[in-house]
Amino acid sequence: MMRTAKTLAGCLGAAVLVTSSPALALGLSPLVLEQQRGMLQVSNSSDRLQRVELQVFRVRQVQGRSTAELTPLPPVEAEALIRLRPSVFRLGPGASRVIAYSVAPDNPSFYVCATSLQGLVQARICSRWQPVSASARRQP
């Protein structure tokens, strides 16, 4: 959510309203999940605290490219696909957090996205569950 800083300054008898909106920066790695168990790293490289939520989405196509649906799966359905603890947390300025995950076997592809809202913009960085195929596993 956008934080609006309001500064009332007197200047030759006039009141000036200044609105500022500092940047928020959200990062996620890796962007492809190939192992059933692993770690996700969420980072906040901005100088502000931000609330981050990890949500699970189905896959859709936009202009021939894969991306996440706009509406997250309900928690129960998401939990059946992937376990993440915690899924909602605050990240301090410059902080990062490593989150362990485990994916239930035999699941189709889906996205798990780190999301953060600021003003007009909701940022999402998404990791796609894309298991190594059986044929690829058999290769040396």
Partner 1 sequence: MHSSLTPRQRIGHAALLSLVLLPTSTMAATIGASQNVDFSPTVVSNFCDITTTGGSLAVERKRGLITSDSSLSGTFSGTQTPGTIAVVSNLTSAGTVIVDPPTLSGGTAATASELKLGNSSYSSTAQSLNLGSDGNLASTNLHVRFSTTSNGNKFANGTYNAVATVTCTDDANR
Of the candidates 97, 104, 42, 49, the one whose C-alpha atom is nearest the C-alpha of residue 78 is: 104
Q: Which of 120, 135, 137, 139 forms a contact with partner 1 (CB under 8 A)?
A: 120
CA dist., res. 64 & res. 74, Å (int): 26
Q: In sequence order, what are the residues at sequence separation of 6 or more whose Cβ sits closer than 8 angstroms to the Cβ of residue 8?
A: 15, 16, 17
- The DSSP 8-state label assigned to residue 73 in this structure reads P
**Stretch 19-78 residues interacting with partner 1 (CB under 8 A):** 19, 21-32, 34, 39-41, 43, 45-46, 62-63, 65-68, 70
Closest to partner 1 by CB, 25 or 81:
25
Stretch that binds partner 1, among 6-14, 72-80, 81-89, 121-129 (CB under 8 A): 121-129
Total residue count of the chain as it appears in this document:
140
Tell me which residues touch partner 1 (CB under 8 A).
1-2, 4, 19, 21-32, 34, 39-41, 43, 45-46, 62-63, 65-68, 70, 98, 111, 113, 117-126, 128, 130, 132
